[in-house]
Amino acid sequence: MAIPSLFVIPSLFLFVYLIFETAKLSREKIRHQFAVDAAAFIEMTNYSDFLNRSAYVNGAFPQRIFEEGFYGTPIELKSNTSGTLPNSMGMAGDRLYEILYKNGAFPADPEKAAQAALDEESTWFLKFGGTGEGKNQVNPNMQSGRLELLTMQDALDYWISWDEAQDIYKLYVQIYQLLGSVEDAQFSVFCRLTGASGCPNSDGKHNFFRKSYWLNTNDNIEDAFDGAQAFNRYSFDPKPHCIQEIMIHGNKPTNNAFQPYQIWAPNEPVQMPKTIDRCEPTDGLFQVESIPLTDLMTMKTPHDDSPWPGYPVTQHWDTNEATLGSNYFNVNFHNVLRCQDGGGPCVHATVGISNPSPSGGLWPNPTPKFQTRLYP
């Protein structure tokens, strides 16, 4: 038995070394795979968070603000014809909420009562009503930049005093200035975290991706710029849209017994202040944030012959002396393992965004249900 053992024992030791070297290689591959999975998921979460928050600003927030502020505000009709208010309110008239919606001042669901809950709906069909229909496009039309907040016909039909008209105008501008400030802050945070292609002075470094990858591998943080390039290959260019002027009409009392009220309006439409950067067609009062449909489609369609929908991320990793180097059999895996692009060893991930709503998105039908999806 001594003679066969001279052959078996060295072979056994070689087998043990083979298992050990294979385990080292597998450990490094798994570590880098987990790192790129986490980094890609975290980075794309910045995109889905921005889309969800912008969808709220586009639709649900203004709809709820105007519902709570104006749904219970009655505006009396001048004529004796019946309005839409319940008889219990003791007057013929309409809600200020409905008048402003008809004038295209804010988005709401025309098929549902104002108090209807949106949470159970797969798609939030929120859109501008009446004369604001032009805003309900993927690339909104701001109707030459003017909003008739209270029209001359409204002043003819309803007892809207000039003081009330001015108060309504001031409150409307304050609401959309606030919404514009919120959206501007959201986009600034998004750009600081990602440096995406649509950001002003974009550096394309995608700090969250690089730092996440570095924390999980302890490699050089600049190495992760390789995988971050996947997010620079595709366009992501959201744009805010603004109106430049608002017109209002109201009734002013006169000393004429035959014409107790006179229709009153500014000599010129009121010019809007700048509320958000990058606004289309030019600076003004924020109305809605949109994104090209092609930008969203690239996040949920396959690329580069991949069967999975989303951005394909390829991250090379270095088998240097600190990790692997040459193994016991003097094989340097960095020279043996090759990615499909001819480089050294690499790991892959595909990350995208889905929305369970069949027709919802950022705009129109702003439905804040974007979710990040990670694939092999």
pLDDT tens for each residue of 174-199: 999 999 999 999 999 999 989 888 88
pLDDT at 20 exceeding the cut of 90: no
- Residue-level pLDDT at 323: 52
SS3 95: strand
- Please, which pLDDT band fits residue 319 given cuts at 50, 70 and 90? low
Here the tokens at position 108 are: 């709401």
Rounded Cα gap, residues 295 and 237, in angstroms: 7
- Residue-level pLDDT at 250: 95
- Identify the bridge partners of residue 280 per DSSP, sorted by sequence position: 241
Q: Please give the torsion angle defined by the CA atoms of residues 191, 192, 193 and 198, in that order, rounded to the nearest 10 degrees.
A: 20
Here the tokens at position 55 are: 């969808």
Helix (H) or strand (E) holding 33: helix 2-55
Helix (H) or strand (E) holding 259: none
pLDDT at 39 exceeding the cut of 90: yes
Arithmetic mean of pLDDT, 92-97: 84
Domain that holds residue 127: 2-375
- Identify the bridge partners of residue 243 per DSSP, sorted by sequence position: 285
Rounded Cα gap, residues 139 and 62, in angstroms: 19
Q: How far is CA 358 from CA 56, 93, 100, 135, in A?
A: 18, 38, 29, 21
- Residue-level pLDDT at 367: 93
- Residue-level pLDDT at 343: 67
Whether 275 contacts 242, CB under 8 Å: yes
Q: How many domains does the chain have?
A: 1
Rounded Cα gap, residues 187 and 192, in angstroms: 9
SS3 241: strand
Note the residue count of the chain: 376
